Amino acid sequence: MSESEQRSPAGEKLQKVLARMGLASRREIEAWIDQGRVKVNGATASLGARVDLHDAIAVDGRLIKREEAAESVRRVLIYNKPDGEICTRDDPEGRPTVFDRLPRPKDGRWINIGRLDINTTGLLMFTTDGELANRLMHPSYQMDREYAVRVRGEVDEEMIERLKAGVMLEDGPAKFTDIKEAPGGEGFNHWYHCVVMEGRNREVRRLWESQGLVVSRLKRVRFGPVFLTSDLTMGRWREMSQREVDILSEEVGLKPQALPQMKEKVRDKLDRLQRKSAKPVGRGERPPRTLRPAHGGPAEGESSRSGRGTPVAERPQDTHKKRPGKPRQERPGVELADRPARKPAGAPVKRRGPSAGEGQRPGSGRGSRKPQ
């Protein structure tokens, strides 16, 4: 083997560079490259191409200024999605989209981390960092999604066991890594909290429908370490703090990155936009207050379940105790669980549960997982 063959390729992968600049997620940029929309030094780029600071990159004929990469920032928004909104930027039918309410970032654009269908409500996240979006959605990082679901029909233990063991859907096998019954519901309507490890299209609905049941309400309440709390009402968004973004970054092996300093005038404008973002929600449309994980987890030091996957997590606001004379300041709209340091950036990570006291009751942390 020659010396040139032994050397590692120069530069970074093209899609990674463009994703870090916030143009789109890596998956979207790979599609752009396949479609011939990206050129490097005047030639149509191919997947796997590497670039450095001396290369000229153009997307759809527009030259990308390389200094934009130095100005890229890692901002993250969380949004409580109402039903009736779709997860796309432009809709030919003119329906409202999840981007309509969001503030316009100064640099880059918002990239949605995963999607929810038009009739599903709850937690949705956006970031200006395409690499962060890619890792949070990639199966190798095993970001679990927890949903509150109301099903119509008679549910028995055999159905629950089948859904946890795995059933065959039209696009392959699928399963819930955990299911717990939640308070609420009457007659043939029952509430459950369930966890999936993938973001396949309508996966939660299709799993329940495979058992002859109908999903009448579906709401995402957690994505990885991020919980949707009652402070963030439907239709409102909130930007994560520096500490919260750092925790989320460490979950997928990215180094912390400082948020830009925001001027007082800009901050006031964002606050006004945030207050105006919510639309009134009728009494009958509000999710019931009983939607929360069932209690009664295992004792401290015991595993919450012996199988693979992640159990339903205790919500942080349900487990914190107020100290007399020293009120705890709530974080509006999101709660993240601290975790130990993870593997270096770029390496697939094996999830570890949060330490007791960081948003969870001792013993209610999530179990170990293997790739599905």
Maximum Cα interatomic distance, the chain, rounded to a whole number of Å: 74
**Token pair recorded at residue 198:** 């993938």
Annotate 278-288 with b (16+ C-beta within 10 A) or e (fewer): beeeeeeeebe
- For 110-135, the DSSP string reads -EEES---TT-EEEEEEES-HHHHHH
> Which residues, given as ranges, of the chain have pLDDT below 50?
1-8, 68-70, 280-308, 317-334, 337-372
Calpha distance 46→182 (Å, rounded): 50
Respond yes or no: is residue 117 known to be catalytic. yes
32 has which bridge partners? none
**Three-state secondary-structure class, residue 60:** coil
Chain centroid, CA 194 distance in Å: 16
Residue type (1 letter), 251: E
The 10s digit of each residue's pLDDT in 122-154 is 999 999 988 899 899 888 888 999 999 999 988
Element (H, E) at 78: strand 76-81
Catalytic residue among 34, 91, 100, 117: 117
With 0-12 / 13-18 / 19 or more C-beta atoms within 10 angstroms meaning exposed / middle / buried, residue 267 is exposed
Calpha distance 138→117 (Å, rounded): 19
With 0-12 / 13-18 / 19 or more C-beta atoms within 10 angstroms meaning exposed / middle / buried, residue 296 is exposed
The pLDDT of residue 328 is 39
The pLDDT of residue 66 is 60
In whole angstroms, how far apart are CA 119 and each of 84, 85, 274? Answer: 6, 8, 23
